[in-house]
């Protein structure tokens, strides 16, 4: 979380237009951490989270890259079972939610989506694409690709 705060501070100087989404993301992460700290830790210790933070702190990140914190926060909140709604960036033509999955986005004009968790599952709303509901993030549906889970054993332990 200290690294997240450092990125938030850096964004105030380098990407001020990203700050509102970063602040909303930080609030969502903090709320999830109160009840499910282990889930927040799992998301924030992913290699993609470290790469994201490094790019932001080096100063070579775009506004959309700074806003990737919303994807991390949404993943943690969803796994914690919290209902929420947050704007997330579309990066390289896809919506990525670490540990949950991804969805290809057609149309270069789509730069963001609003995602949330409602009683019916994961909701994704994009301009020009309407609202998509993914009832089970572990199953492929409506262009959704669930995250792959790789399991292995080392020295007899999973």
Nearest of 86, 59, 53 to residue 71 by alpha carbon = 86
The mean pLDDT value for 26-35 works out to 96
Task: Calculate the average pLDDT of the chain.
Answer: 92
pLDDT in tens, 121-158: 999 998 777 888 999 999 998 889 999 878 888 898 88
Q: Whole-angstrom Cα distance, residue 73 to residue 98?
A: 9
Is the pTM value of this prediction over 0.85? yes
């Amino acid at each position: 979380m200290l690294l997240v705060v450092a990125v938030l501070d850096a964004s105030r100087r380098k990407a001020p237009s990203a700050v509102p989404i970063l602040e909303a993301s930080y609030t969502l992460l903090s709320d999830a951490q109160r009840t499910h700290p282990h889930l927040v830790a799992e998301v924030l210790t992913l290699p993609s989270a470290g790469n994201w933070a490094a790019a932001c702190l080096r100063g070579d990140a775009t506004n959309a890259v700074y806003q990737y914190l919303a994807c991390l926060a949404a993943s943690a909140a969803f796994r914690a079972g919290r209902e929420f709604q947050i704007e997330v960036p579309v990066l390289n033509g896809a919506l990525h939610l670490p540990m949950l999955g991804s969805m290809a986005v057609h149309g270069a004009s789509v730069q963001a989506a609003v995602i949330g968790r409602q009683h019916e599952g994961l909701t994704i709303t994009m301009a020009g694409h309407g609202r998509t509901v993914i009832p089970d993030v572990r199953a492929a549906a409506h262009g959704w690709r669930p995250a792959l889970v790789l399991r292995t054993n080392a020295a007899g332990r999973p």
